Chain A
């Protein structure tokens, strides 16, 4: 593999398993080796730090909690994503937020969303059975899907249904009777204390099991008969062949390539059925551990061959840009404001549009979002004061001696923001643009200054290409 291909592959891994990496870091990682890098992402050593959350709360204590407004919680998470050195942890937290979509639109107590995301950060690469139990006992989820209204005498099916439809099996792998029996098994899995909310204060809910509300009767669920409770239900779910396939298809959709939208999955076959079978096998063999599946996924050929097969999500666009340009590093008072940028592009953290999560892929694109996303990136990559942009300029300047042709400028810039895979037509268009102002010189301060400005402009134009919207 050529050095360019190795860098491109490493950049692909870091975009998917993280939020991208700058060229210095990519070179270090290539020297370290691909499989070793996968290993560090999947199983980071204890001394590799997360973002320093104590530092954040010392200066911006308001970002530790939230009520009806999701901005503090989204800013808190943005800080994690921009500053962590364990990026796959954040990506997996985001993954579970997509799959186990819970919205503060209804929970109306963002403390619980913050706590839920913290939980995915801590356990998101652990065991899927453990995650389902945590989810079933998570106050935000219980409130979001009304399980506190699920009583022995009056079962509420909301949680029972979504557990099967969206969190484990997918449509078509259970009957309405199974939904009802599932709901019965989770009666009494509730929250307390039920204190009224007032505008500026919310009480913290805790998970409670109330035996007097639990239905201890016999149930029939997915062909099994017994006096099941929620734990039994989860165990029976895990025996269904549909379960591992459904979850690894989510992983494929999130990390490898855009699938059709989830509601169509029982009609449309997977984009790569063999990949799904392979991952599902690993998932079952490991007893539903996430790490072996992720390791297999990132080391597979189908992953390595899937460069730019996904539309970048709004939050990937925002965090990737901030990390590439070195903007908003550490504790910054703009965190709350910037945390809403992805919301303006259609992805409001802590507030997925419904329990089905966000529709991804082409559905990220609309005319308002396109302007927002291109401008967000272009504003930053054209700002040559930002440390990450300065490093790119220095690399461009050092690449070809003191004089540089338009072709060289374009190829360098396309390389350093990716390497990006641009079509020949796009490349010629970029070159035509660069050619209008002739060759670049880096000799002397004036030339340097004008040339670095031209690099910034070229980066902005590249950020506006259709190719750049894929990651």
Chain B
């Protein structure tokens, strides 16, 4: 497989805990919003960053408002699926596996990586920045590099002397390369180990090639996006990046927590795009933000409880900026158990990204045909 810097790249940011979409994209002109949000969560019409006569972004999202005004950010309203279980883990599982009715074990992003690199030639086609591997990325036999911190990533990192470590890794390659003919499981282990090490080597080499004028923040999400920019700018053939920001489960004390999350996230995203632009590496990237569910319409005094319908953000120069889909009614008579009723299946959002952006067949990845929305233009000049 040949990859060029002009292959489309997807960066997924998972907002874990259930982002309060209604306080991210605020229907400030709707009286029902002001009725529902009383406990310090209400964002007044004079506070929101207005994007039109009905909606405004949360005041902490200044850097994102700029992207929106440039036409580089799409807001996708009303995303979810029927019978939301309102449990974090189960909901996240559903988003990860595209299996709302039974418990699935394979992840949609892992399947996408397999289809992007069917022969498994590049062990860094998919890269996760974080601990472990979310189920969205797990498919047996599909290598995904899982990087907690790019600057210290690798095997046998406790061996401090680099020369010594290199020698040991040389032995590792010899030993794992010779696992052929030792039985199916050891062969598979041998290949997986070599993929992991090769991935680590490729990433390390990429680290050496990157330098940047952009000064990122010190928060985890800034460091994670900086790692993604590093790998992307080094042109290592990575097509799908994935990371997460945790802490959106704001049952109590939402206001300051939510403000900090979105302040950090907005800055990190803005720095990331500045960095990519400075490296002339932004035009083949789409960034996608999702969360497992939105939150209860009526607040609980200091926070908000688990809800159903939420929304997604899609950012990049090829994105058709603006609002897509329909913001669900917040009139109490239209709510389902106090929650927004989603009107766009999340698998349709994935399908748009997979087909219109990554040029994959979405049906086997999301297990079915779902309505797409036109929020992204295909990459011009791509192979």
Q: Which residues of A contact B (CB under 8 A)?
A: 68, 103-106, 108, 198-200, 258, 311, 340, 343-346, 351, 353-356, 359, 361-363, 365-372, 374-375, 378-379, 382-383, 423, 425-426, 429-430, 432-433, 436, 457, 460-461, 464-466, 469
Contacting pair A367 B167 (CB below 8 A): no
Chain A residues with CB under 8 A of B156: 374-375, 378, 460-461, 464
Chain B residues with CB under 8 A of A423: 178, 182
Chain B residues with CB under 8 A of A362: 140, 184-185, 188-189
Q: Does B29 contact A (CB under 8 A)?
A: no
**Distance from B107 Cβ to chain A, minimum over Cβ atoms (Å):** 11
Contacts A/B (CB < 8 Å), 11 sampled:
A311-B185, A356-B103, A365-B189, A366-B140, A367-B144, A367-B199, A368-B144, A371-B146, A378-B158, A379-B158, A429-B171
Name B168's contact: one of A108, A344, A356, A461 (CB within 8 Å). Answer: A461
Contacting pair B132 A345 (CB below 8 A): yes
Most buried by A among B90, B133, B158, B193: B158
Q: Does B159 contact A (CB under 8 A)?
A: yes
Most buried by B among A258, A355, A371: A371
**Distance from A342 Cβ to chain B, minimum over Cβ atoms (Å):** 10
Contacting pair A363 B140 (CB below 8 A): yes
A365 to B138, CA, bound (A): 11
Contacting pair A432 B143 (CB below 8 A): no
A365 to B192, CA, bound (A): 8
Chain A residues with CB under 8 A of B174: 429
Chain B residues with CB under 8 A of A371: 146, 154-155, 196, 200
Contacting pair A382 B103 (CB below 8 A): no
**Distance from A430 Cβ to chain B, minimum over Cβ atoms (Å):** 7
Contacting pair A370 B158 (CB below 8 A): no
Chain A residues with CB under 8 A of B195: 367
Contacting pair B189 A370 (CB below 8 A): yes
Contacting pair B186 A466 (CB below 8 A): yes
A362 to B192, CA, bound (A): 11
Contacting pair B193 A370 (CB below 8 A): yes
User: A430 and B171 in contact (CB under 8 A), knowing A106-B89, A366-B192?
Assistant: yes
Contacting pair B132 A466 (CB below 8 A): no
Contact with A along B135-147 (1 / 0, CB 8 A): 1001010111110
Contacting pair A258 B185 (CB below 8 A): yes
Residues from 151 to 186 in B contacting A, C-beta threshold 8 Å: 154-159, 164, 167-168, 171-172, 174-176, 178-179, 182, 184-186
Q: Does B38 contact A (CB under 8 A)?
A: no
Chain A residues with CB under 8 A of B143: 366-367
**Distance from B180 Cβ to chain A, minimum over Cβ atoms (Å):** 11
Contacting pair A426 B189 (CB below 8 A): no
Chain A residues with CB under 8 A of B374: none
Most buried by A among B89, B199, B305: B89
A68 to B189, CA, bound (A): 34
Q: Does B255 contact A (CB under 8 A)?
A: no
Contact with A along B106-142 (1 / 0, CB 8 A): 0000000000000000010000100111010010101
Report how many A-B pairs have Cβ atoms within 8 Å. 144
Contacting pair B88 A344 (CB below 8 A): no
A311 to B188, CA, bound (A): 12
Name B105's contact: one of A106, A351, A359, A374 (CB within 8 Å). Answer: A359
Q: Does B93 contact A (CB under 8 A)?
A: yes
Contacting pair A436 B167 (CB below 8 A): yes
Contacting pair A383 B189 (CB below 8 A): no
User: A367 and B196 in contact (CB under 8 A), knowing A351-B89, A379-B158, A429-B175?
Assistant: yes
Of all A-B residue pairs in the complex, the 7 with the closest CB atoms, nearest first, are: A368-B146, A105-B89, A199-B251, A354-B103, A344-B132, A367-B196, A367-B143
**Distance from B145 Cβ to chain A, minimum over Cβ atoms (Å):** 7
Q: Does B214 contact A (CB under 8 A)?
A: no
Chain B residues with CB under 8 A of A355: 103
Residues from 77 to 119 in B contacting A, C-beta threshold 8 Å: 85, 87-90, 93, 103, 105
A379 to B123, CA, bound (A): 24
Contacting pair A108 B251 (CB below 8 A): no
Chain B residues with CB under 8 A of A460: 156, 158-159, 168
Chain B residues with CB under 8 A of A375: 155-158
A365 to B164, CA, bound (A): 27
- Known: A108-B87, A374-B193, A460-B159; 14 extra A-B contacts, CB below 8 A, are A105-B93, A311-B185, A353-B103, A362-B188, A366-B144, A367-B123, A371-B154, A372-B146, A375-B157, A378-B156, A378-B159, A379-B158, A423-B178, A466-B186
A395 to B112, CA, bound (A): 51
A368 to B131, CA, bound (A): 9
Q: Does B252 contact A (CB under 8 A)?
A: yes
Chain B residues with CB under 8 A of A464: 155-156, 168, 172, 175
Q: Does B316 contact A (CB under 8 A)?
A: no
**Distance from B372 Cβ to chain A, minimum over Cβ atoms (Å):** 29
For residue B104, which residue of chain A has the nearest CB? A354
A198 to B167, CA, bound (A): 55
Chain B residues with CB under 8 A of A461: 156, 168, 171-172
Q: Does B190 contact A (CB under 8 A)?
A: yes
Most buried by B among A200, A340, A370, A460: A370
Chain B residues with CB under 8 A of A345: 132
**Distance from B163 Cβ to chain A, minimum over Cβ atoms (Å):** 11
Contacting pair A105 B90 (CB below 8 A): yes
Chain B residues with CB under 8 A of A370: 189, 192-193, 196
**Distance from B114 Cβ to chain A, minimum over Cβ atoms (Å):** 13
A333 to B200, CA, bound (A): 31
Contacting pair A199 B132 (CB below 8 A): no
For residue B251, which residue of chain A has the nearest CB? A199
Chain B residues with CB under 8 A of A343: 132
Contacting pair A469 B171 (CB below 8 A): no
